[in-house]
Amino acid sequence: MRLRNKPWAIKLVNEHPESVLQNPDPAKKINWDKRFADFSQPLEIEVGSGKGRFITTLAAQHPERNFVAIELQTTAAGIILRTKLEKHLDNLQILRGDAADINRFFAPNSTNIIYLNFSDPWPKTRHEKRRLTYKAFLSKYQEVLTPNGHIEFKTDNSGLFAYSVKSMNNFGMHFDFVSVDLHHEKVEITQKNIETEYEQKFAAKGNPIYALYASFKA
CB of 57 to ligand SAM, least distance (A): 12
From 197, 203, 207, 213, residue interacting with ligand SAM (rule: CB under 6 A): 197
By annotation, the residues acting in catalysis are 120
Q: Is 155 annotated as a binding residue?
A: no
CB 151 within 8 A of CB 141: yes
CB of 110 to ligand SAM, least distance (A): 18
Should residue 209 be labelled a site residue for ligand SAM when binding is judged by CB under 6 A?
no
Should residue 83 be labelled a site residue for ligand SAM when binding is judged by CB under 6 A?
no
| Cα dist from 30 to 21, 24, 102, 148, whole Å | 9, 8, 11, 23
| Cα dist from 194 to 57, 113, 126, 187, 200, whole Å | 7, 15, 33, 14, 10
CB 12 within 8 A of CB 78: yes
CB of 47 to ligand SAM, least distance (A): 6
Sign of the alpha-carbon dihedral angle for 43, 44, 50, 56: negative
From 26, 57, 107, 120, residue interacting with ligand SAM (rule: CB under 6 A): 120
From 12, 44, 48, 151, residue interacting with ligand SAM (rule: CB under 6 A): 48
Binding site for ligand SAM (CB under 6 A): 1, 47-50, 70-73, 76, 98-100, 117-120, 196-199
